[in-house]
Amino acid sequence: MDLAFMGRTFLTLIEGVPLLLELAGLSLSIGAVFALLLATMRLSGVGVLDWTAQSYIFVFRGTPLLVQIFLIYYGLGQFRPALQEVGLWWFFREPFYCAVFALTLNTAAYAAEIFRGGLLSVPHGQIEAAKACGMSRLQRFRRITLPIAVRQALPAYGNEIILMVKATSLASVITLMEVTGLAHRLIAQSFRAVEVFVVAGAIYLFINFAVTRAILVIEWRLSPHLRQAPEGEAPMKPAPAHARGA
Amino acid sequence: MTDVAVSVRNLRKSFGALEVLKGVSLEAREGDVISILGASGSGKSTMLRCINMLEIPDDGEVTIGGETIGLERTRRGMRPADGRQVDRIRSEVAMVFQSFNLWSHMTILENVVEAPIHVQKRPRQEALDEGMALLEKVGIADKAKHYPSHLSGGQQQRAAIARALAMRPRVMLFDEPTSALDPELVGEVLRVMRSLAEEGRTMLVVTHEMGFARDVSNRVMYLHQGVVECEGEPQAMFANPESERFRQFISSHR
């Protein structure tokens, strides 16, 4: 392997990192809000809402992200006149917006089920205690249900963040020059696939290393109740079996 | 009428085909400590839970401090006419649960001050000071910064009692507060409850603790299959029970 070449490759590919982070960051944050909405629709007990959310989740989890990206960018491109008419063409003609759109819709479907699991795991008795002291529905959700659900959902959601960082590589198929896109171009110029992809892989690995660490830190800070009591005192009961050690 | 703290009139509640409450009435004056006894399935917990609308009665009336909770009939059964009225009344009626139900993500002190700060909107520092004083009172001030999972069952239940007291409630409802505890932890919780009774607090206690019912409460109510079988002063009721069922019940709970 040509180390000098790999060094130059690294400098080229690293330029794709800001775009990668933008894609992942934007779609994850918009997707999380959308996912919370979908999860509450699933749990609303209202047939139409539940059914709508369920079908949405079924479609977006059941089809490949690559296909979704193609359909949104190339597929909707065929309806250009109609999109121009409703004033949405500026959005769908940009590959960046299309990629964020596809990634958002996709992550929302997965995260919705993760959040739903978290919300369902909140012990009924704790919600009842909140009711019994006069908290309104919104207060109960904000102060009790959501904080407990987030703690339950975090490990699974960490997985989703990592998957999304990697999923941004698919944006290269609609001409976006993030890390994988740049790697493709470099290979076409140099015909040295192994070196280029090894460097690209290492960049993803490093980003995800940082992501995993960050999630661990958040998890640790949110779960003092799963660790030993302060002042070195032993807990009265062994930590529950589902307690995740940090 | 002003000294009537809680009045329940002709309460009915069914779960599916099962009629759990078949017209139960109760009146608690300020300072009353009423023990509600009965076999499991007799409807005693359901009656208690109807008082703060954790269960919505199918029929009947609940009045707290002279204010009757408005209910309206819909196609899918009864529901509170005004959610905010229910929230407000709930903040005056504290409840202690069989399984403690402390909020697991908050420390003991945070549990105690949560409702005073966020529901009653009292000043933070005042709530914290009062919260610490209450933890002192129930004997777990040293656990203020611990999480519920760090405490024994008895300590958790005492924390839950402190959380209930922090609301400065007009009435306290206890739903089998010692039933989930190991026998050696029951005493510490009963001691706290006894001291509350001696302070003159109004308490409705669903319990299987015959000692508490006989020695601490000033009235006992015995439910059987959704109706009040008998009620009265504990001394008289325990000394010579007029009801055969109640006699059998207390002899099986010695």
pLDDT in tens, B59-80: 999 999 889 999 999 888 889 9
Residue A72 — very low, low, confident or very high, per pLDDT cuts 50/70/90?
very high
Position A18 scores a pLDDT of: 96
Taking the C-alpha atoms of residue B154 and residue B168, their distance in angstroms, rounded to an integer, is 22
User: Can you tell me the mean pLDDT for B229-239?
Assistant: 91
Position A231 scores a pLDDT of: 58
Residue of A nearest to B114 (CA): A143
Q: Measured between CB atoms, does A230 come within 8 Å of chain B?
A: yes
Could you give the percent of chain A with pLDDT greater than 70?
93
Position A54 scores a pLDDT of: 96
Taking the C-alpha atoms of residue B206 and residue B181, their distance in angstroms, rounded to an integer, is 15
Taking the C-alpha atoms of residue B13 and residue B44, their distance in angstroms, rounded to an integer, is 12
Would the CB atoms of B147 and A136 count as touching at under 8 Å?
A: no
Q: Measured between CB atoms, does B85 come within 8 Å of chain A?
A: no
Position B75 scores a pLDDT of: 86
Position A77 scores a pLDDT of: 86
Residue A200 — very low, low, confident or very high, per pLDDT cuts 50/70/90?
very high
pLDDT at A239 > cutoff 50: no
The partner residue sitting opposite B87, judged by closest CB among A134, A226, A239, is A134
Position A116 scores a pLDDT of: 96
pLDDT at B203 > cutoff 70: yes
pLDDT at A245 > cutoff 50: no
Nearest CA to B168 out of B93, B117, B102 is that of B93
Would the CB atoms of B101 and A125 count as touching at under 8 Å?
A: yes
The partner residue sitting opposite A133, judged by closest CB among B94, B100, B105, is B94
| Closest-CA distance of chain A to residue B244, Å | 36
Q: Measured between CB atoms, does A140 come within 8 Å of chain B?
A: no
pLDDT at A16 > cutoff 60: yes
The partner residue sitting opposite B151, judged by closest CB among A125, A137, A236, is A236
Q: How many residues in total does chain B contain?
A: 254
Q: Measured between CB atoms, does B102 come within 8 Å of chain A?
A: yes
Give the Å distances, CA to CA, from A96 to A190, A211, A215, B151, B241: 27, 23, 27, 53, 82
B5 and B170 in contact (C-beta within 8 Å)?
A: yes
User: Can you tell me the mean pLDDT for A235-243?
Assistant: 45
Which residues in chain B (120-159) have CB-CB distances under 8 A to chain A? 145-152, 155
Position A232 scores a pLDDT of: 47
Position B240 scores a pLDDT of: 86
Position A235 scores a pLDDT of: 46
User: Can you tell me the mean pLDDT for B145-174?
Assistant: 95
Taking the C-alpha atoms of residue A56 and residue B166, their distance in angstroms, rounded to an integer, is 45
- Going by their DSSP bridges, the two strands B67-68 and B59-64 should be labelled as antiparallel
Residue B57 — very low, low, confident or very high, per pLDDT cuts 50/70/90?
very high
Would the CB atoms of B114 and A136 count as touching at under 8 Å?
A: no
Residue of A nearest to B87 (CA): A134
B55 and B49 in contact (C-beta within 8 Å)?
A: yes
Residue of A nearest to B151 (CA): A236
Name, of B41-45, B47-51, B240-244, the range with top average pLDDT: B47-51
SS3 category, B41? coil
User: Can you tell me the mean pLDDT for B15-31?
Assistant: 93
For residue A15, how many other CB atoms are within 10 A of its CB? 12
For residue A16, how many other CB atoms are within 10 A of its CB? 22
Would the CB atoms of A129 and B101 count as touching at under 8 Å?
A: yes
pLDDT at A103 > cutoff 70: yes
| Closest-CA distance of chain A to residue B228, Å | 25
- Domains of chain A in start order, with CATH, are 3-223 (1.10.3720.10)
Query: Which pLDDT tens digit goes with each residue over B75-121?
Result: 888 899 998 999 999 999 999 999 999 999 999 999 999 999 999 99
pLDDT at A237 > cutoff 70: no
Work out the mean pLDDT of chain B and round it to a whole number: 93
Report the interhelical angle of B108-118 vs B124-137 (nearest 10°).
130
Taking the C-alpha atoms of residue B116 and residue B123, their distance in angstroms, rounded to an integer, is 8
Query: Which pLDDT tens digit goes with each residue over A108-163?
Result: 999 999 999 999 999 999 999 999 999 999 999 999 999 999 999 999 999 999 99
The Cα diameter of chain B in Å comes to 54
Would the CB atoms of B102 and A137 count as touching at under 8 Å?
A: no
Query: Which pLDDT tens digit goes with each residue over B170-187?
Result: 999 999 999 999 988 999
Residue B1 — very low, low, confident or very high, per pLDDT cuts 50/70/90?
very low
User: Which pair of tokens denotes residue A103?
Assistant: 């990634």
Chain B residues lying within 8 Å of A139, measured CB to CB: 118-119
As separate numbers, helices (DSSP H) first and strands (DSSP E) second, chain B gives 9, 12
Could you give the percent of chain A with pLDDT greater than 90?
80
Would the CB atoms of A132 and B54 count as touching at under 8 Å?
A: yes
Residue A230 — very low, low, confident or very high, per pLDDT cuts 50/70/90?
low
- What's the alpha-carbon Rg for chain B, to the nearest Å? 18
A92 and A77 in contact (C-beta within 8 Å)?
A: yes
Would the CB atoms of B119 and A135 count as touching at under 8 Å?
A: yes
Give the Å distances, CA to CA, from B137 to B15, B118, B229: 39, 23, 37
